[in-house]
Amino acid sequence: MSSNVQHDRRGETTGILYAGSAYAFWGITPLYWRLLGEVPPFQLTTHRVLWCAIFVAIVTLWRGRLAHIVTIVRTPKLLATLALTSILISTNWTIFIYCVATNQLVESSLGYYLTPLLSIALGVFLFGEHMTRFRLAGVVLAAIAVSVKAFALGHVPWIAFSLALDPMDGLLIETALLLPFTLGLVIYWGMTEPHAFPAAGVFSDALLILAGPITAVPLALFAAGARRIRMTTLGFLQYFTPSFTLALATLGFHEPFGGIDAISFAFVWLALLIVALEGRFRPQLATQEGG
C-alpha cells in the first residue's frame, strides 16, 4: 500500500472523527441549554450571538485571518448574503432553544432529518435542477410525513421547516453584523431587569459567556472534518445530530413519541433511504436510459 493511500485513509479517519464529533456535539447541546432554562429563548439567543462573535473574533485575530475577513467585508454581494444568513441563523438558534424550553425536540429532530430533502426540493423549484425518480419519491414521502404531522398537530409543523434551514458560513461576519444590536440588548436588560446578566448569578453568567465557545467549537470541528472526507460520508454523518436529539428527547427528556410521530419519521427515513440508494443505482439507470 502506497504512502499516499495510507495518508488519505488517515486523513479521512481524522475527518470522520472531527465531523462526527461536531454532529454529536450538536445533538447533545440541548443538555447545555436546559441549564439556562430560566433565561427566555430570545435573550439566550442574543447572548449566544454576542459571545460567539467575541469568541470567534479573538480566535480570528489569533490565527492571523483579519486580512481575509476584510476582503469578505469589501465584497458587497458576499456581505449582503452574509447579512441575510445572519438573520436566518439567529432565527434558527432561537427556534431551537424554544424547542428545548418547550419540550418540542422531537419536532426539531424531524426538521433536521428533512434538511437534505428540502434542499432537493429547493434545487428543483428554484434552480431548475433535474428531478430523478428517486428524488421525486423522496420528496413525495417527505411531503406525506409533514402532512401526517400537520394533521396530528392541527397546523403546519413550522418548527420542522424552520430548522431545516441552517446557514453556517461566515460565522464571524454573521454574528458581528448583529453585534451592535445584541450588545445593546444585553446592556438594556442588565439595566432594567434585576436578574438579567450580569446579575443572574456566577453560574448562569458563566454559562451565558461560554455559549460563544459552545457554538463556535463544533463549527470548527465540522469545518476541519469537511475538508478531509468525501461529501457522501459527510452526508451520512449529518444524521448524527437529529438521531442524538431524538434519543435525548425521548429517552432523556421523556417527550411523547406516539404513533403519529412514528409514522412521520418512518416516511422521512424511507425517503432518505431512497435518496441514498440513488447514488448506488445511478450508473445502472444512466446505462438503461442511454440504451
Q: Tell me, what's the pLDDT at 31?
A: 92
Q: Measure the CA–CA gap between 49 and 171, rounded to whole angstroms.
A: 10
Cβ neighbours for 55, distance < 8 A, ≥ 6 positions apart: 212, 213, 215, 216
Q: Tell me, what's the pLDDT at 282?
A: 55
pLDDT in tens, the chain (291 residues): 455 555 566 777 888 888 889 888 888 899 999 999 899 999 999 999 999 999 988 888 887 777 777 887 788 887 887 787 788 778 888 888 888 888 888 888 877 777 766 666 666 666 666 667 776 777 777 777 767 666 665 555 655 655 555 434 467 778 888 999 999 999 999 999 988 999 889 999 999 999 999 988 888 888 788 788 776 677 667 778 888 888 898 988 898 888 888 888 888 788 777 766 765 655 554 444 444
For 46, the domain range is 3-290
Instruction: Please report how many Cα atoms fall inside a 13 Å half-sphere around the Cα of residue 247, on the Cβ side.
Output: 10
Q: How many domains does the chain have?
A: 1
Secondary structure (H, E, C), the chain: CCHHHHHHHHHHHHHHHHHHHHHHHHHHCHHHHHCCCCCCHHHHHHHHHHHHHHHHHHHHHHHCCHHHHHHHHCCHHHHHHHHHHHHHHHHHHHHHHHHHHCCCHHHHHHHHHHHHHHHHHHHHHHHCCCCCHHHHHHHHHHHHHHHHHHHHHCCCCHHHHHHCCCCCCCHHHHHHHCHHHHHHHHHHHHHHCCCCCCCCCHHHHHHHHHHHHHHHHHHHHHHHHHCCCCHHHHHHHCCHHHHHHHHHHHHHCCCCCCHHHHHHHHHHHHHHHHHHHHHHHHHHHHHHHHC
